Amino acid sequence: MKDGNTTRITRKQAKSAKTDWTRFDAMTEAEKHAAAVSDPDARPLTEADMRRMKRTPRAKIIRRALGLSQEDFAARYHIPIGTLRDWEQGRVEPDKAAQAYLTVIAREPASVRRALNSARRPRS
C-alpha cells in the first residue's frame, strides 16, 4: 500500500525482499554522495545538524547494553542513583575516576560485580 511518499510493506515482504547492490557498487563516491543528498527522506547530516544533536551519555549506553534499569545499575555498581541520573541526563559529567570506573564496568562487568560482592562478605 502506498500513502503519499511512503510505501508500506509487511514484515514478511521485507524479509523476502532482496537488495541488488550491483548498481550501487558500480557508482563512484561522488555519485553515491549526490544520490544521498538528493534523497529528501534520508539526507546526510550537516555540520549544523551535528552541533544541534545531543550525544547519549556513556553511562546510559553502558547501562542499556547491560540491560539494567537505573536502579539496578546503581545498586550493582555502588553508584548513588542521583549521581547516575545526573550523568545520564547530562547535568554533570563523570570525573576522570568515574570515567575510568565506567570503562572497567563496560569491559568487565562480571569481574566488577564479583569484586564488589566479595568486598561485602566478611572474611573468615
Q: Exposed, middle or buried: residue 77 (CB in 10 Å: 0-12, 13-18, 19+)?
A: buried
> pLDDT tier at 1 (50, 70, 90 boundaries)?
very low
Secondary-structure percent of the chain, ordered helix, strand, coil, rounded to 5: 60, 5, 40
Whole-angstrom Cα distance, residue 113 to residue 105? Answer: 9
Number of C-beta neighbours around residue 57 at 10 A: 20
Q: What are phi and psi of 15, to 5 degrees?
A: -65, -35
In whole angstroms, how large is the CA radius of gyration of the chain? 23
pLDDT for 106 equals 96
What is the rounded average pLDDT of the residues 4-18?
70
Q: Tell me the pLDDT of the chain averaged across its residues.
A: 87
> pLDDT tier at 5 (50, 70, 90 boundaries)?
low
For residues 76 and 82, the answer to whether their CB atoms sit within 8 Å is no
Whole-angstrom Cα distance, residue 19 to residue 70? Answer: 40
Cell output for 88: 545520564
- Residues 55-85: tens digit of each pLDDT: 789 999 999 999 999 999 999 999 999 999 9
Percent of the chain with pLDDT over 70: 87
Whole-angstrom Cα distance, residue 50 to residue 48? Answer: 5
Whole-angstrom Cα distance, residue 52 to residue 68? Answer: 29
